[in-house]
Structure 1
Amino acid sequence: MNYYSTNDYAAQMSFKEAVIKGLPKDKGLFFPHEIPTLGEDFFESLPSLSLPEIAFEVLQPYVTPDITPEDLRKICGEVFTFQIPLVEVEKDVYALELFHGPTCAFKDVGARFMSRCLQAFAEPDRPVTVLVATSGDTGSAVANGFLGLENIDVVVVYPQFGVSEIQEMQFTTLGQNTSAVGIEGTFDDCQTLVKQAFSDEDLNQKKNLSSANSINVARWLPQMVYFFHAWGQWKKLNPDAAEITISVPSGNFGNLAAGLLARQMGLPITYFVAATNRNRIVPNYLETGEYAPAPSVATIANAMDVGNPNNFPRIQELFRHELEAMQQVVKGFWADDEEIKGTIKLVHQENGYLLDPHGAIGYLSLRQLLPELKTPGIFLETAHPAKFKESMEKVLGQEIELPEQLKVFQGRQKQVTDMPNDFAGFKLLLMQEHKEGTL
């Protein structure tokens, strides 16, 4: 499989080249040259397949020939070591719980898969520096996914006051081959600095840079796996049902782009919901046809505080830039903080189910849209509620216990380099030799 730039069809690279490079020089995104279709036999057997088995079947066309079938099976077995259960919250509404991995967030899947790919591709005499901008969960998933890998350094760039305390502890206390840079600004500022780094020729001559954001194909593609898994589990519970809607809490839109790619591979999902907080750039586009990125707004659902979604060009590519075609499949929805808080309280009281702020938006979108769409619905629970402990406890008025994966970070010392939103200073920082936990 080759990959082209969304800005230049002729700029094609292999899977290996695309993973290492991260971003094309023209600032587009790598996109698969062709989208394979899975056969009826696969979908008939899907409800009985394990996560590693699903991953192998879904991902093999995208990594061939750079990763052998034997190596891919091994990678899938190492990545999908935790459950991703489908839980019925109420009649015809299910949560796909993506928070049972090592950092309690959906990004464990993509980060772990990418780390194995990059480790296989890295050259001993040319160390790789992985740059990742984060609004919360990406940083912890990537830092932990790459922790201790030889020949790979990880630099996590985040807004100083834009992530929860627990999220920050997960990527600032690790040391070893990880470093954290706190920027005086928003997530969008961090994302811009990372993009500038990839387009700086001088920096790229001296450092072998790779991206671990969902813009990297090795982070993006494995997210398809749990959409197939969700449908398989739903069919096991509802063998005679035909149509289903999946609501995807969305910030950078990599998750939704992966689900839509799965649909083009044959996954029979009727509708997707692009569910956002007040950063409603895509819902507005679906309603008006005008795509207008804007400065991000801080919300209780902080991992989705993105005003210029990186992955949206991939969604446009999937629909050949035809708005009407997109509108037939993707429905827009957004909620403000008060609606999110009210939903968390209501669902906890009525159903005994604890939503995180992001999952709450997904749930609320289904409650409002399903009567019109006339299908059952699945929403993605993208992170454990305890990752937002302070906010959640204020909403519920009660303490939330941390899962074991998060308790281990309590009491550790943070190691962070704080700096202003300035690319010249950021570039100088990256040029310095890496030391454990610092730059």
Structure 2
Amino acid sequence: MKYFSLNNREHTSNFENAVVRGLAPDKGLYFPENIDKLPASFFNNIQNLDKTEISFEAIKSFVGNEISNSALIDIIDQTVDFEFPIVEINDRIGSLELFHGPTLAFKDVGARFMAGSLGYFIKKGNLGKITVLVATSGDTGGAVANGFLGVEGIDVVILYPKGKVSEIQEKQLTTLGKNITALEVKGTFDDCQVMVKKAFLDSDITNERKLTSANSINVARWLPQMFYYLFAYKQLQKMDKKLVFSVPSGNFGNICAGLMAREIGLPIDHFIASNNANDTITSYMETEEYKTKPSVATISNAMDVGDPSNFVRILKLFKHDHAYLKEKFSAYSFNDEKTKNSMREVYSETGYIMDPHGAVGYLGLQKFLQTNPDYYGTFLETAHPVKFLNTVEEAINNKVAIPDSIQSLMEKQKKSLQISNYEDLKGYLLS
């Protein structure tokens, strides 16, 4: 499989180099040259396949022969060794729970698959030491830290915005030690992301360190997120309705993976990008003008992104045709008050507890279904409610049970380095 840069189609790369580089040299995101559809028989027979078999068939053409089939199956086994249930909210809506992995967030899938792939390439070749440099608005940091912890030949440096992640999220990325370093940035997630992108283009740094990114810009983080849409379809296949997914969206890697799953044949009719007050894409869908905005802080902090990196991939999937995109893709935005109200209402009516991100997904789905009653809708519950404990307990006016793994985590000592600007980051990377 060849990948090309979305900034310059003339620049191409194989899967291994795309994973190791993260970004193309021209700062473009990598995109596959060919997208092969799975046969109809795969979907007709999906009830007879387990999670590893489903995932292997979905990803193998994107990896090509660069990872042996046996090694790829091992990587997938370790990536999806937990459950992905759909919980019924009512007769028209279900919640796809993606928080049953080690860090209680959907990003466990991409982070574990990327760690396995990069570890395989390091063992296979002469790559030397690699630094995974990543910005996080919340859950990416913890998932990457957990996925790469102790992987030989890899250092992980995580930038996160000071005071803008939850206490549990912060503990997950600042307490592991070993090959994981957390840098606490005085600024927003967008500031962190700008620093990371700048470092990739700084020859002073790249001459000293081999950098790669574990944000969803990396194809090995982005593409395996297709898996759980396929797992969901296996559970939804019995529905005699058109299917729609509502995806809480920040950097748009997750929903882009869902659209890629559709591109390889997954029979899903529509996708909803459910956004918080950071409404760059909602505005674009209404006006056809893409205008970046400074991110604003919300209670669904992992979605606080003003310039989502992966939207350019979505535009490529839809051939930059706005009318075509609107046929299969909607975007809505909701403020914190509406988010809290939906958490309160769903809990009061059903006893189901949503985290703030899932609540935004629920709101988007609810809005879509008002004018599209012939659909069955699934929203993605992307993180365990305990990760946003104060917000959730305030919204539902009740206590949330805390898993044992989180209890022990909160007793650990936070270790981070504080930085204020790019020069601070550069100084650290060159030290």
Moved more, 320-329 or 213-222: 320-329
Match of 2:84 in 1: 84
Residue identity in the other structure for 1:37: K
Aligned-residue offset at 1:399: 2.0
Cα RMSD for the two superposed structures? 1.0
Q: Distance in 2 between matches of 1:89 and 1:355?
A: 11
Displacement, 1:411?
Answer: 1.1
Query: C-alpha offsets along residues 149-205 of structure 1, whole Å, 9 cap, x if unaligned?
Result: 111010110001110000000010000000000000000000000000111122111
Give the number of aligned pairs: 428
Q: Deviations over 1:411-435 (max 9, x none)?
A: 1111100011x21221110112xxx
Q: Secondary structure at the match of 1:409?
A: helix
Q: Unaligned regions of 5+ residues in structure 1, if any?
A: 433-439
Aligned to 1:310: 309
Corresponding residue of 1:410: 410
Counterpart residue number, 1:73:
73
- C-alpha deviation, 1:398, in angstroms: 2.2
Q: In structure 2, which of residues 206, 210, 213 is the aligned counterpart of residue 211 of structure 1? A: 213
Equivalent-residue separation in structure 2 for 1:248 and 1:130 (angstroms): 27
d(CA) in 2 for partners of 1:371, 1:50 = 35
Equivalent position of 2:422 in the other structure: 423
How far did residue 124 of structure 1 move?
A: 5.8
Q: Which residue of 2 aligns with 1:436?
A: none
SS at match of 2:134: strand
TM superposition shift of 1:371 = 2.8
Moved over 4 A (4+): none
Aligned match for 2:185, one of 183, 186, 191: 183
Report Cα offsets for 1:99-152 as digits up to 9, x if no partner. Answer: 000000000000000000000112566101001100110000000000011110
Summarize the Cα distance change of 1:416–1:15 in structure 2 as closer, same or farther, 3 Å threshold.
Answer: same
Residue matched to 2:9:
9
Task: Give the whole-Å Cα distance in 1 for the aligned partners of 2:69 and 2:162.
Answer: 42
Using structure 2 for the length normalisation, give the TM-score.
Answer: 0.98
CA distance in 2, matches of 1:48, 1:177: 40
Mapped partners of 2:292, 2:169: distance in 1: 26
Q: Which of these residues, 208, 222, 226, is aligned with residue 228 of structure 2?
A: 226
Q: For 2:327 and 2:136, how far apart are their aligned partners in 1?
A: 31
CA contact (8 A) 1:103 1:406 kept: no
TM-score by length of 1: 0.96
Question: Does structure 2 retain, via aligned residues, the 8 Å contact 1:29–1:215?
Answer: yes
CA deviations over 1:240-272 (Å, ceiling 9, x no partner): x14111001000000011011111111111110
Secondary structure of 1:285 counterpart: helix
- Measured in 2, the distance between the counterparts of 1:7 and 1:189 equals 22
Which one-letter code corresponds to 2:359 in the other structure? A
**Partner residue of 2:259?**
260
1:172 pairs, out of 167, 171, 174, with 174
CA distance in 1, matches of 2:4, 2:171: 37
Amino acid in structure 1 at the alignment position of 2:349: E
Aligned to 2:401: 401
Asked if residue 322 in structure 1 is aligned to residue 321 in structure 2, the reply is yes
Q: Which residue of 1 aligns with 2:148?
A: 146
Q: What amino acid maps onto 1:282 in structure 2?
A: I
SS in 1 for 2:132: strand
Query: Is the deviation greater in 361-370 or in 293-302?
Result: 361-370
How far does the alpha carbon of each residue in 1:362-410 deviate from its partner, in whole angstroms, 9 at most, with x for none? Answer: 1111112113123110100000000001111222222212223322311
Amino acid at match of 1:73: I
Q: In the alignment, which residue of structure 1 is the partner of 2:102?
A: 102
Aligned equivalent of 2:370: 371
Which amino acid counterpart does residue 324 of structure 1 have in structure 2? Answer: A
Paired residue type of 1:386: V
Matching residue's letter, 1:234: L
Give 2:378's aligned amino acid: I
- 1:348 matched to 2:347? The reply is yes
Contact 1:52 1:77 in 2 (8 A): yes
Whichever residue aligns with residue 64 of structure 2, its letter is T
